[in-house]
Amino acid sequence: MKISSYHNKQHALDSLMVPEKEHLIVKHNLRSGEEVEIDTHKSREWIIVEPGKGEFQIWSGDKTKRLTFPEKFTYAILIPRRIPHRLVALSDVSYTVLRDGFD
C-alpha cells in the first residue's frame, strides 16, 4: 500500500492515468460502519480521497491503516495487482476508485 498526495482529484487522475489506455473510474459513497468486503483485482487500483471530513480503515495484504481524510491535499492510495484488500468506513465517506483495467 503506497500513499501519494496531489493538489486535487483531477491532478491525481492526470498523474496516474496512462495515455491511450482505458481506465475504470467509480465514485463510491459509504455510510459509517459499511464496508467493502475483501476484494482482489487483476489491475492496479487507486483509492482517491479528497479533502473533507471522514475516516476509514483499509486493509491490504498484511497491512492495516486507519486514515483520516486530508485537510488540504488529495490522497491516492495504491493497491497493487492481486493483493486482497478491504475498506471499512469509520464515518460517512465518499471516494473515487481508479483502476488501470476492467477485471
**Distance, CA of 56 to CA of 22 (rounded, Å):** 28
Q: Strands 24-30 and 35-39: what pairing?
A: unpaired
Alpha-carbon distances, residue 27 vs 17, 49, 62, 64 (angstroms): 16, 10, 26, 23
Closest alpha carbon to 56 in 93, 83, 28: 93
**pLDDT for 60:** 80
Domain ranges of the chain: 2-99
Query: Tens digits of per-residue pLDDT, 38-93?
Result: 888 899 999 998 887 778 788 887 888 887 877 888 999 998 898 888 888 888 88
The model's pTM: 0.85
Fold annotation for 2-99: Jelly Rolls (2.60.120)
pLDDT digits 0-9 by tens, 20-38:
999 999 999 888 888 888 8
CA 33, CA 103: separation in Å to the nearest integer?
27
